[in-house]
Amino acid sequence: MEYNTHPALPEFEYIRPATLAEASDFLSHHPDTARPFLGGTDVFVRMRDGFMKPDFLVDVKNLDGTNELRFDPQAGLTIGAAVNMNRVSASPEVQTHYPLLAEACRSVASYQLRTRATIVGNLCNASPAGDTTGACLVFDGVLHIHGVDGLRQEPLATFFRGPGKTTLKPGDIVTALHFPIPPEHCMGKYIKLGRNQLSDLAIVGVTALGHKDSTTSSGYRFRLALASVAPVPLMVTEVETYLADNPVTPDAIHEAARLAAEACSPIDDVRGSARYRKQMVRNLSVKALTEVWKKLN
């Protein structure tokens, strides 16, 4: 029997609500059959491949405020849900204050894909392999969500519930992603290990952010986030604590990287074995933390 790995896109109805209230109302009344979308780079591929079959696709790209990218020196950065990754990485404010975010965006697939793909779509897709998730976590991202009961905010740290699962409820639409002002003179690094340079998801992704901090014993604070090595994107708090409490030396960085490998729980899949992933978390954490530490000095 012939097996078609790429069946055609199933039929669906395209819905373009005029307001957020209308969009939330429609989605809440069709919890099992309607789906919001932005760039569609996850949604359409999953529909084509038969993993998803919504009757209605609700286009939330043109709703209030979702196209804004705004920086305020006191409040921080707000990225509307519909702002694509190329716009984020080209923004002078992002390049100046959140260069790690621009670096993470540029690691996603190709320029062409990034003209459609959004950070909010990457987050809502809730893949543990999402490339922008680590940067959003270490910068303390907060999602602005419009639901049937109005607006609320949700820190990214509590948003992910499992592969493809988030705290979003039927009718919820993420309208924007907000970041506070980052610590002064902070430095970051994202290392993505993929099977090729283009269009592949991470086998392992390591995001490190560090800054000098006079309130810690070591005089530094580092944050480390990991992709593709647990059911949800992982912030390794053990690394932050260890490098805050102990003098930062090459040995301390190796110990922090060992803690990172210990904290993750990867699986075997087509892109790599669990054992390989753990080893790569250790190696790439040393590399990312060392690079950040050197930049800070």
Ligand X SMILES: Cc1cc2nc3c(=O)[nH]c(=O)nc-3n(C[C@H](O)[C@H](O)[C@H](O)COP(=O)(O)OP(=O)(O)OC[C@H]3O[C@@H](n4cnc5c(N)ncnc54)[C@H](O)[C@@H]3O)c2cc1C
Binding site for ligand X (CB under 6 A): 35-43, 45, 60, 81, 108-109, 113, 116-118, 120-122, 124-125, 130-131, 168, 173-174, 199, 201
Least gap, CB of 15 to ligand X (angstroms):
13
To ligand X, the closest distance from the beta carbon of 76 in angstroms equals 20
Nearer to ligand X among residue 168 and residue 261 (C-beta): 168
Q: How far apart are CA 120 and CA 39, in angstroms?
A: 10
List, in order, residues 6 or more apart from 184 with CB less than 8 Å away: 211
Pick the closer one to ligand X by CB: 67 or 246. Answer: 67
Among 137, 130, 122, 109, CA closest to 224: 137
Which position has the token pair 């979308």? Answer: 37
* 174 or 253: CB nearest ligand X: 174
Of 139, 156, 150, 155, the C-alpha closest to 173 is 150
CB of 54 to ligand X, least distance (A): 8
Taking the complex as a whole, the smallest distance from the CB of residue 225 to ligand X amounts, in Å, to 13
- Name the minimum Å distance from CB 135 to ligand X: 11
Question: E-strand spans in the chain?
Answer: 13-15, 34-37, 56-59, 69-72, 76-80, 142-147, 150-155, 160-162, 165-166, 173-179, 187-193, 204-212, 220-227, 234-235
Comparison of 37 and 71: residue with beta carbon closer to ligand X: 37
Closest-approach residue to ligand X (CB): 121
Least distance to ligand X from the beta carbon of 194, Å? 7
What are the CA-CA distances from residue 133 to residues 127, 206, 233, 251 (Å)?
9, 10, 7, 28
The Cβ of residue 222 has, within 10 Å, a number of other Cβ atoms equal to: 29
**Which CB sits closer to ligand X, 136 or 259?**
136
Hey, is 284 helix, strand or coil?
helix
Q: How far is the CB of 261 from ligand X (least distance, A)?
A: 22
Secondary structure class of 195 (helix, strand, coil): coil
Structure tokens at 133: 């998730």
CB of 162 to ligand X, least distance (A): 14
Query: In the complex with ligand X, which residue's Cβ is closer, 32 or 184?
Result: 32
In the bound state with ligand X, the residue whose beta carbon lies nearer, of 115 and 265, is: 115
Bridge partners of 222, per DSSP, are 210
Q: Is 90 helix (H, G, I), strand (E, B) or coil?
A: helix
121/272 with CB nearer ligand X = 121
